[in-house]
Structure 1
């Protein structure tokens, strides 16, 4: 029997290749079918990642895998790179061990395993799109459209971790953006841009503007959403109060909800009875508001200091100055909505300043921008009907006046709370009877349950009771401030009462400047 020649062997090899399975075997068809289902998935009301025209061009019987029409395929409306689809097609033909290794890499890189995506051919395995490079790409890369849009668990993971710096949303800035009055004239709640100046120099340590420019003293106050610090500017030594939000913005709308406070402070910046704003900026998703410092505490501090017993003439003086502030606020078409003793500050001259515009609104109110109804002890009844307007501040002032004049604690809930909102002051009648008729009647007038009947701040300022007060040049609480100064001078200096500031390097130093008192 003759030996086969080289030519005959070559012909046999060629024949074997012709008879051997091609990429269009059942396995390849199933892989192509899987690719179609992935690319056409429009669950959760999302459009397909690749256009219908594109994946319909993937022919189950087509043997030429190298041909890809660049113009037929698109991702999110943009032409897809040839390498992206080639990698995706070829990855579906890998052997089982390669696929398992890829899936393991995916799980460790993203930190999640989907509990819902099951492989069509194996109920025990999870279906994940392959990573075609050794590192996760920045969000501008087309392949991220597959991972972030089709993997809901990954999207939730990103939101829960407040966004990594490489994936920071546009509403969070890593450099300070100063919020001026001009900003509100040029931008509105629907704007989706933040104008940023180019940095003068790079900051490799990423020290915030707050830590770089100010030394932080003791905490003046803290609420659910923010903290206020006694600060000193390093370059000038000027003291001020800076309010910083505790949590970063969660979206464009949440950002604007917080910026409303800044805009309203600018609207009342000329009022002598409202806390003056010095500057405001946002950085790393946090809002910073710098205001003048009122170093003598709050009206609540004074009330407690006097054991809840205040002379009536002092009450009229406090009432008058608060009215001036409320009138200025209302003239600016703003409603404060959170008037209470702890939000009334006392300056060095013994005058008062209305502070904390955190839930203030612009009138007429748009419910989308209403953040809350304030402290229940002082809130007007119409707020339960979502009637947010200026008369609510007059009612809150009436509750504040009732508390100062009678010394009684205000109910927060239950029947006593409801009775007052219905105009029934039976439980307060005994203490009200001890007041002069003028003050008692004034309180009843402010607490009228009908917001239309309540007087305005402007009408109240014309009352004859204020004629004598208008001639006074002193703050109603000047004697209280002088008493505080005397106690301050007599008290031994302890570490607890010293003004301690921290520098940007987190070093602690004693206040080198004299106390504002």
Structure 2
């Protein structure tokens, strides 16, 4: 059981801003120690000149050791420490990167030093890394919500982080989502099917596998969220519900497509021509929406076309805007999608809507023939010349119209791809 003395000495500062100020003002730390040394009657008066103590913070991790050292004006006087040692002790305590805190509200500051029955009201726990909520300059310990309004307020060059008045260091993904089921993972991210704890609504959360490496790396990765917000809602594009960053990881919450990806490896069956035309027409509508907003996807491939069942019909939706960009791209843009599905012009840094049409053509060819695309070699180069010689035999089960459509989408001329493809 805690003693009244220990309770009386569980104090610290009103907010992260006040604590940050205190951490920067070493003179105040020494003066604060001197105030403690003079006893409880003088402490409130001296402290009040520098910072209000209506909110006090209690270290859980250091309460046994640090608070015992700092405990109480009486024990402090008995230790008879010199100023240098007091300063080091206070620095270690106040600036500790691992301090986890609770808060307690007080009506009167003097009550803190006289009451033996103080009740502590916990708030959200957070890492107290220099008491700012930051692990480093570009990584937050709390969940920093990335709303559409956030991107309206900031630019690519200035992705400022806005610290809320109160924040939690708990993992937001664990706190707000339940029934997690891993659907798959790629080179850069993991995808989970889950439910929102408060509503039970099912959704998908994509989490990056590697934390931000630098401020520029953070800016580039947040660009996916910004682009997806700009895209907006469309029946053939997976909707972005929300996004956040925490501890350097990026999270995107999207709608759930129950049927997921068309897994040709498991089904090992050819698509019917009707299914293929449904995919072409669905993604054509998605392209019309994207390209109408001067956005290109740059990573169209079978894995990025999802299926959602609606009214007994399959709705095909485009997903994953990690490589997408506005036209013209920002200076320094150098993202590349999967080269197996990219045109030579896109690989050479010439971006246009025609790049997406080429990727769709390669995607349709793979779905129709069930032949995995290569990332180099003679067949790879022939396809980029619009030559389907290596696939003619497998395309015999489909109509000439479909074969012609694929040839149009694979035209070496980017302008011929999408203009002609609209009139398939």
Quick check: 1:177–1:282 contact (8 Å CA) kept in 2?
yes
Q: 2:244 aligns with which of 266, 281, 287?
A: 281
Task: State the match for 1:191 in structure 2.
Answer: 158
Matched, 1:331 2:292: yes
Aligned pair count reads 304
Matches within 5 A, 1:13-32: none
Task: State the match for 2:323 in structure 1.
Answer: 359
Task: State the match for 1:407 in structure 2.
Answer: 370
Equivalent-residue separation in structure 1 for 2:140 and 2:393 (angstroms): 57
Task: State the match for 1:161 in structure 2.
Answer: none
Quick check: 2:387–2:407 contact (8 Å CA) kept in 1?
no
Residue 379 of structure 2: SS of its match in structure 1?
Answer: helix
Residues 1:219 and 1:366: Cα distance change in structure 2 (over 3 Å):
same
Matched, 1:344 2:311: no
Quick check: 2:408–2:421 contact (8 Å CA) kept in 1?
no
Task: State the match for 1:207 in structure 2.
Answer: 170
Q: 1:293 aligns with which of 256, 281, 284?
A: 256
Equivalent-residue separation in structure 1 for 2:377 and 2:383 (angstroms): 11
Quick check: 1:308–1:404 contact (8 Å CA) kept in 2?
no
Quick check: 2:159–2:219 contact (8 Å CA) kept in 1?
no
Residue 164 of structure 2: SS of its match in structure 1?
Answer: coil
Task: State the match for 1:371 in structure 2.
Answer: 335
Q: 1:307 aligns with which of 268, 272, 294?
A: 268
Task: State the match for 1:56 in structure 2.
Answer: none
Residue 319 of structure 1: SS of its match in structure 2?
Answer: helix
Task: State the match for 2:405 in structure 1.
Answer: 442
* Structure that is richer in strand per residue: 2
Task: State the match for 2:34 in structure 1.
Answer: none
CA displacement 1:183-223 (0-9 Å, x = unmatched): 111100111521122116xx5xx311211111141111211
Quick check: 1:341–1:400 contact (8 Å CA) kept in 2?
yes
Equivalent-residue separation in structure 1 for 2:277 and 2:158 (angstroms): 45
Over aligned residues, Cα RMSD in angstroms? 2.8
Task: State the match for 2:388 in structure 1.
Answer: 425
Q: 2:142 aligns with which of 175, 190, 196?
A: 175
Residues 1:403 and 1:136: Cα distance change in structure 2 (over 3 Å):
farther
CA displacement 1:251-271 (0-9 Å, x = unmatched): 221111111111121122221
Q: Give the TM-score of the pair, scaled to structure 2.
A: 0.66
CA displacement 1:16-63 (0-9 Å, x = unmatched): xxxxxxxxxxxxxxxxxxxxxxxxxxxxxxxxxxxxxxxxxxxxxxxx
